[in-house]
A and B are shown apart, each in its own frame.
Chain A
């Protein structure tokens, strides 16, 4: 593996720890995840538009 990515055991431990967080209980409302993604992409698009050099 070219990069020092974590191995399966490390990924498993990490996943189990994050899944056990109270915010990740089954049925938790994660609407914000998709809303945040939409906002972040809208911001990126606005940045790209602002960087465009107007054609002469």
Chain B
């Protein structure tokens, strides 16, 4: 087994390599939690990538060096230098899943409901993770994206999230 790679290692490495991405999804929403008790466990971390083949290639090469394997649309994504595959993934707005045998899982998203790159990147919040700064989608955008995704699990998440963080002054 290769050296374990934690979420922190992978995300920091992507930042250092200059990969343009914004943390989105439940993992992004967790950045606005006050402490671990308020965070929601998710199986993977969603990263919205700039929608261009070069950004995808850079991310894949770096993660491959760390020992990640990839798949998109249920198929292994093997040739990281296959220009047509990279362009096709970007054009179709694919989600490339990056999995490490130590359990760390990243979803490299090239599109998403309510998650246009230009908008999400324009006003992303900037937080530190140790020594590096990471961009995280604005909370309102991330919550609205869940609503637009509209799957039962997304709507249930929003219902529970709103109940958990209800304004104490709000009438019930």
Interfacial chain A residues near B39, Cβ < 8 Å: 33, 36-37, 40
- Which of B127, B129, B144 meets A11, CB within 8 Å? B144
| Interface residue B113 (Cβ < 8 Å from any Cβ of A) | no
Cβ-closest chain B residue relative to A22: B34
Top 10 A-B pairs, shortest CB-CB distance:
A15-B140, A15-B139, A5-B155, A36-B36, A34-B7, A30-B127, A3-B155, A40-B41, A6-B162, A5-B158
Q: B117 on the interface (CB 8 Å rule)?
A: no
Once the chains are docked, how many angstroms separate the CA of A8 from the CA of B103?
Answer: 35
Which residue in chain A gives the minimum CB-CB distance to B5? A38
| Alpha-carbon gap, A18 to B94, bound state (A) | 31
User: Which residues of B sit under 8 angstroms from A4, Cβ to Cβ?
Assistant: 159
A3, B8: Cβ atoms under 8 Å?
no
> Does the CB pair B130–A31 fall under 8 Å?
yes
Are A31 and B125 CB-contacts (below 8 A) given A3-B159, A37-B7? no
Contact size range, B:
35 or more
Chain B interface, >50% SS class: mixed
* Residues on A facing B (Cβ under 8 Å): 1-6, 8, 10-19, 21, 23-24, 26-38, 40-42, 44-45
Q: Is the CB of B42 within 8 A of A37?
A: yes
Contact digits for B53-81, partner A, Cβ 8 Å, 1 yes 0 no: 00000000000000000000000000000
A2 cross-chain contacts in B, Cβ below 8 A: 152, 155
Can you spell out 11 A-B residue pairs with CB atoms less than 8 angstroms apart? A3-B152, A8-B144, A11-B140, A13-B167, A14-B167, A15-B140, A15-B143, A21-B34, A26-B127, A30-B129, A41-B43
Complex: A27 Cα to B128 Cα, angstroms = 5
- B129 contact from A14, A34, A41, Cβ within 8 A: A34
B113-148 vs A, CB cutoff 8 Å, 1 = contact: the mask equals: 000000000000111111001101011100110010
A29 and B127 within 8 A (CB): yes
Q: Which of the listed residues A4, A6, A44, A45 has the most CB atoms from chain B within 10 Å of its own CB?
A: A6
Write out the residue numbers on chain A whose beta carbons fall within 8 Å of the beta carbon of B167. 13-14, 17
Assuming A11-B144, A27-B128, A28-B128, is B165 touching A18 (CB within 8 A)? Answer: yes
